[in-house]
């Protein structure tokens, strides 16, 4: 059993981000997250994950996180709620350090949602991953060295100094 890191370094200063559920369709959450990362000048590598796309925003895409050829610090998950546990498990096997789960439909809806959240937490703990979310906007670090806007907010652009 892995120990969960107490550090949030991989959440706020990742060297690489996989966007699982990245989309080529403007206006979708998966499109907006990749768009925000690119337009705000994220300093690390961006790895879109979409099983039906060769690229997203001109960036090569992968069908699953485990097919990305390098280490991934942070995975931003924007897939349907019933797929989140499987994606989190893939991330754990890949060695992803932290997850940001955008997807809703967890504890906030009660019943089966609570069970989904407990499963997500069990997976994260077993693999030593930090978790932000579920049902969140994403994360932002506006420091010039990182410039990360991993949200689906429509117009949160950083001022360039």
Structure pTM?
Answer: 0.93
**What are the tokens at 132?**
């932000």
Instruction: Provide the CA 9 distance to its chain's centre, in angstroms.
Output: 15
* pLDDT bracket for residue 159 (50, 70, 90): low
Is pLDDT above 60 for 144?
Answer: yes
In this prediction, residues 104-130 reach a mean pLDDT of 97
Domain spans, the chain: 9-151
CATH fold of the domain at 9-151: Rossmann fold (3.40.50)
* pLDDT bracket for residue 155 (50, 70, 90): low
> What is the per-residue pLDDT across 55-90, written as a single tens digit (0 to 9) for each?
999 999 999 999 999 999 999 999 999 999 999 999
* pLDDT bracket for residue 157 (50, 70, 90): low
Neighbouring CB atoms inside 10 A of 3's CB total 7
User: What pLDDT score does 136 carry?
Assistant: 97
User: What pLDDT score does 150 carry?
Assistant: 96
In degrees and rounded to multiples of 5, residue 77 shows phi and psi of -105, 120
Taking all residues of the chain, what is their mean pLDDT, rounded to a whole number?
Answer: 92
In this prediction, residues 18-28 reach a mean pLDDT of 97
The residue that leads in pLDDT, 156 or 147, is: 147
Listed residue (88, 79, 96) closest to 28, CA to CA: 79
* pLDDT bracket for residue 145 (50, 70, 90): confident
């Amino acid at each position: 059993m892995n120990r969960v890191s107490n550090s949030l370094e991989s959440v706020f200063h990742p060297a690489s981000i996989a966007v699982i559920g990245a989309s080529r369709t403007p206006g979708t959450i998966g499109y907006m997250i990749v768009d925000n990362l690119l337009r705000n000048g994220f300093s690390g590598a961006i790895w879109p994950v979409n099983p039906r796309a060769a690229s997203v925003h001109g960036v090569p895409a992968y069908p699953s996180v485990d097919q990305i050829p390098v280490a991934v610090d942070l995975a931003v998950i924007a897939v349907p709620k019933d797929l989140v546990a499987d994606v989190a498990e893939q991330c754990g096997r890949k060695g992803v350090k932290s997850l940001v789960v955008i997807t809703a439909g967890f504890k906030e809806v009660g019943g089966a949602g609570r069970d989904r959240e407990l499963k997500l937490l069990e997976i994260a703990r077993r693999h030593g991953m930090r978790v932000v979310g579920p049902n969140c906007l994403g994360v932002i670090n506006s420091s010039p060295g990182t410039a990360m806007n991993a949200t689906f907010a429509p117009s949160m652009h950083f001022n360039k100094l």
